[in-house]
Amino acid sequence: MKPYIAILTARFRTMLQYRAAAVAGLWTQVFFGLVLIMIYEAFYASSDLPQPMTFAEVASYVWLGQALLALLPWNVDTEVRAMVRSGAVAYELCRPLDLYNLWFMRAVAWRTAPTILRAVPMTALAMFVLPWIGLEEWRLQIPSLTTGMAFAVAIVCTLLLSCALTTLMNITLLWTVSADGATVMLTVLVTLFSGMVIPLPLFPDWAQPILMALPFAGLVDLPYRIYSGNIPTSELPRVLAHQIFWTATLVFIGRWLLVRGMRRIVVQGG
Partner 1 sequence: MNGVRLYFRYIGVSIRGQLQYRGSFILQSLGHCAVTAIEFLGVWALFSRFGALRGWSLAEAAMFYGLISITFSIADAFARGFDLFGNMVKSGDFDRLLLRPRSTVLQLIGQEFTLRRVGRFAQGAFILAWSISVLDVTWSPGKVALLMFALLGGVCLFTGLVILQATSAFWTTESLEVWNAFTYGGVFMSQYPIAIYRPWFRRIFIYVIPLACVNYFPLVAVLGRKDSLGSPESFQWFAPFTGIAFLIVSLQVWKIGVRHYQSTGS
Closest CA to 110 of 13, 186, 253, 180: 13
Q: Produce one character per residue of 31-45: b if its CB has 16 or more CB atoms within 10 Å, e if not.
A: eebbebbeebeeebe
The residues in 73-132 that bind partner 1, with binding defined as CB under 8 A, are none
- Least Cα distance to 101 among 8, 246, 166, 4 occurs for 4
Q: Is 192 in the site for partner 1 (CB under 8 A)?
A: yes
The distance of closest approach from Cβ of residue 36 to partner 1 in the complex, given in angstroms and rounded to an integer, is 8
The number of residues that bind partner 1 (CB under 8 A) is: 33
Which spans in 47-144 are helix H?
Answer: 55-67, 78-86, 89-94, 99-124, 130-132
Binding flag, residue 206, partner 1 (CB under 8 A): no
Q: Which of 32, 55, 100, 175 binds partner 1 (CB under 8 A)?
A: 32
Structural Rg of the chain based on CA atoms = 20
Q: Does 197 bind partner 1 (CB under 8 A)?
A: yes
Is 191 near partner 1 (CB under 8 A)? yes
Distance from chain centroid for Cα 138: 23
Percent composition of the chain: helix, strand, coil (DSSP 3-state, to 5)? 80, 0, 20
**The one segment of 89-97, 165-173, 182-190, 225-233 that binds partner 1 by CB under 8 A:** 182-190
The stretch near partner 1 (CB under 8 A) out of 1-9, 98-106, 145-153, 188-196 is 188-196
Q: Which residues bind partner 1 (CB under 8 A)?
A: 21, 24-25, 27-28, 31-32, 34-35, 38-39, 42-47, 49, 51, 178, 180-181, 183-184, 187-188, 191-192, 197-198, 202-204
